[in-house]
Structure 1
Amino acid sequence: MLAAMLTAGTIRTKWGVIIPSTNIMVEHDFAALCPYGVTFHAGRAYIASPSMATDADAKTLLDEMDQGFSTALRDVLTAKPDRIIIAMSAEVMRRGVQGGQDFVDDIAQQAGLPVTTGPEAVIAALHRIGATRIGVLTPYQPESDALTRDYFEASGFEVRQVAGLRCTSATDIAEVTPDRIVAALRELDRCGADALVQVGSNLNAVALAAQAERWLDTPTISMNTATVWHALRQSGITDQRGDAGPLLRDF
């Protein structure tokens, strides 16, 4: 049985996933969400200074990810993936819509592969559920929150509110408690949005977002769930499941 499970024919698609070296949630979330036969393989962009205590610190962190990106991409390409996934939300959004697209196009050219990003996936998800007014939950400091707002507004959405958790380091993002995330979502739900969006791939929010439709009147989209959903559909995989929220259940 085990030998049959491990034959090459059971691999439906392989993804190379670029993440910050400080990230612990992407691999956890992808493992929980991906259907059988979808494999993912992480390349880590090195971060020497994980502090996000100030806007200047946050910019230094993102600049370090830029410097480590090529090595992470080089490494993950040795697994011969079918697609590259950039699981770094702020790294794309800080460039703006056109700058983010240029960044993605350059990576696609370097890799010779299609590329999926978290922000692109969230936008696709919002269009799919028909939302135009959004509230956004982030782990960021004010400057990154402003860039996040600009990105979604330039993508055609009315951003009713951005709630930043003001995490002081990249590793602290994964330590935000469920109670704090729930409280932030409940507060954000008062802004009159059609949908709530959680960005920041190291925030432990996949399960909470999936459960949120039970205690909020507003659809809630976790970036990691949206990324897996979008990459699956882009890969021609239409598997659905009922325990991961409306995207993977209904679309």
Structure 2
Amino acid sequence: MTDVLGWRCKFGVFGPSTNTIVQPDFDDMRPRGVTNHYSRIFTPNANAVSNESFRASAEVIASNVLEAVRSVMTCAPDYLVMGMSATRGLQSFATNACSAGPGPIPPSRARTRCAPN
């Protein structure tokens, strides 16, 4: 069944719960027929003032990524977007986590549905 509002494309977007930029940016850029569906990776609002505190914060985020991905995958998005910086190590984790959802989206279907009219 075609989504009523997201008939062109549905984005599943996830990022840290402390991020206040990605959701408004995606909403501002959203064209007609595209919907954004958000999921938050829980993380305490910690200051990364050293390599150790940054690493500790990244580990908390990494341990909570899978739950955020599972949650947003229930709406069957055409694309999954990780909205955060400094994620080199988390990118492969998130990619693997996507396979835990309802399954990959065939690229040809996603390109067709999201292409401009």
Place the TM-score, normalised by the shorter chain, in its bin. 0.7 to 0.9
Q: For residue 237 of structure 1, what is the amino acid of its counterpart?
A: A
Structure 1 runs (4+) deviating above 2 angstroms are 102-105, 232-239
Q: For residue 30 of structure 2, what is the amino acid of its counterpart?
A: C
Whether 1:113 aligns to 2:116 is no
State the aligned residue count. Answer: 110
How many percent of aligned residue pairs carry the same amino acid?
Answer: 26
Matched with 1:19 is: 15
* Residues 235 and 58 of structure 1, relative CA distance in 2, 3 Å threshold: farther
Q: How far did residue 10 of structure 1 move?
A: 5.8
5+ long unaligned stretches in structure 1: 1-6, 115-231, 240-251
Q: For residue 41 of structure 1, what is the amino acid of its counterpart?
A: H
Contact 1:17 1:43 in 2 (8 A): yes
In structure 1, C-alpha distance between the alignment counterparts of 2:104 and 2:38, rounded to whole Å: 16
Indicate the structure (1 or 2) with the bigger Cα radius of gyration.
Answer: 1
Q: How far did residue 105 of structure 1 move?
A: 3.7
Matched with 2:32 is: 36
User: What SS does the corresponding residue of 2:99 show, helix, strand or coil?
Assistant: helix
Taking structure 1 as the reference length, what is the TM-score of the superposition? Answer: 0.39
5+ long unaligned stretches in structure 2: none
Contact 2:14 2:41 in 1 (8 A): yes
Q: How far did residue 233 of structure 1 move?
A: 6.6
Contact 2:8 2:113 in 1 (8 A): no
Taking structure 2 as the reference length, what is the TM-score of the superposition? Answer: 0.76
User: What SS does the corresponding residue of 1:63 show, helix, strand or coil?
Assistant: helix
Q: Deviations over 1:40-86 (max 9, x none)?
A: 11111111252112221111111111111111112112222222111
More helix by share: 1
Q: For residue 110 of structure 1, what is the amino acid of its counterpart?
A: A
CA RMSD, Structure 1 to Structure 2 (Å): 2.7
Q: Bigger relative contact order, structure 1 or 2, given CA contacts below 8 A and separation 6+?
A: 2
In structure 2, C-alpha distance between the alignment counterparts of 1:234 and 1:20, rounded to whole Å: 30
